[in-house]
Amino acid sequence: MSNPSDTLDALGLLCPLPVLKARKRLKSMPEGALLRVLADDPAAVVDVPHFCAESGHRLVSQEEADGHQIYIIQKIG
């Protein structure tokens, strides 16, 4: 897997801001690009995978580190 093209630091932001900011950032990225999203909102565990499923983007990975979540999202379409 190639390295993420961009990182979105959504630490400290509450739902729905991490997903809204991820959507905006992905819009400006080329197809196939990877976005790393850092979030510490407990709702992000549900919101980010749901956003990917709804928008058609691919959730490449989801992990917990240092008290926050790290999501890798691949832009599709």
Helices then strands (H, E): number in the chain? 2, 4
CATH of 6-74, one of 3.90.550.10, 3.40.50.720, 3.30.110.40, 3.40.50.2000: 3.30.110.40
The predicted structure's pLDDT at residue 64: 96
Which residues, in sequence order, are bridge partners of residue 36? 7, 72
Mean pLDDT per 10-residue interval, the chain, length 77 residues: 87 96 98 98 97 98 96 97
Contacts of 18 (CB under 8 A, 6+ apart): 8, 10, 37, 39, 41, 44, 47, 48
The predicted structure's pLDDT at residue 1: 52
Kindly report the number of other CB atoms within 10 A of residue 40's CB atom.
15
Catalytic residue among 5, 11, 15, 70: 15
Q: Is 15 a catalytic residue?
A: yes
Rounded to a whole number of angstroms, the CA Rg of the chain reads 11
